[in-house]
């Protein structure tokens, strides 16, 4: 379980990495890893909806402030927060009262991948769709979303495997 101090540490680190490091890479626009959503994906399963929305809002706000993208990341993060419980419930065979931190250790590889893949795809699609704000470039939105999803899954997987050894 994450303590509140661990949550603050991860929050700050992921927002800074997304804003400072990945924000500079975004100019090439091949695939932009959205590593900051790892924070939302790893919150304990018993996190309430209001608390999850609170975390999502401020996480998106932090990234939006670095990227000068008013509201884009907030909106995508709030959508992810809204569907997170359902995605998590579909992949676990636990009682609703069980509390766990989603990860390879607690869920195993297959269910964890089936949990993060649609969550990241939804987040990146909403982010790219709102950024394009047009149905004319839907093909480009889908390509960018898929590339962002694959890059994000790869980085989340690496972070999860490194943390697994802790």
82 or 21, which is more confident = 82
pLDDT score of 92 more than 90: no
pLDDT score of 24 more than 90: no
pLDDT per residue over 98-137, tens digit each? Answer: 788 898 988 889 999 999 999 999 999 999 999 988 888 8
pLDDT score of 29 more than 80: no
Helix, strand, coil content of the chain in percent (nearest 5): 75, 0, 25
Selection from 50, 20, 48 nearest residue 35 by Cα: 20
Confidence of residue 84 (pLDDT cuts 50, 70, 90): very high
pLDDT score of 97 more than 70: no
Selection from 39, 50, 44 nearest residue 123 by Cα: 39
Task: In whole angstroms, give the CA distance from residue 45 to residue 85.
Answer: 7
């Amino acid at each position: 379980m994450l303590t509140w101090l661990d949550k603050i540490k991860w929050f700050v680190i992921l927002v800074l990495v997304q804003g400072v490091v990945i924000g500079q890479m975004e100019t090439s626009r091949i695939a932009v890893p959205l590593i900051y959503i790892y924070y939302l994906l790893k919150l304990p399963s018993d996190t309430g909806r209001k608390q999850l929305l609170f975390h999502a809002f401020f996480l998106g706000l932090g990234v939006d402030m670095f990227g000068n993208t008013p509201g884009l990341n907030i909106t995508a993060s709030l959508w992810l927060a809204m569907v997170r419980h359902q995605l998590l419930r579909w992949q676990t065979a636990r009682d609703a009262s069980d509390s766990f931190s989603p990860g390879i250790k607690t869920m195993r590889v297959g269910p964890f991948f089936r949990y993060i893949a649609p969550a990241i795809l939804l987040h990146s699609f909403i982010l790219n769709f709102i950024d394009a704000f047009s149905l004319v470039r839907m093909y480009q939105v889908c390509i960018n979303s898929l590339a962002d999803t694959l890059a994000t899954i790869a980085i989340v997987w690496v972070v999860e495997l490194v943390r697994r050894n802790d």
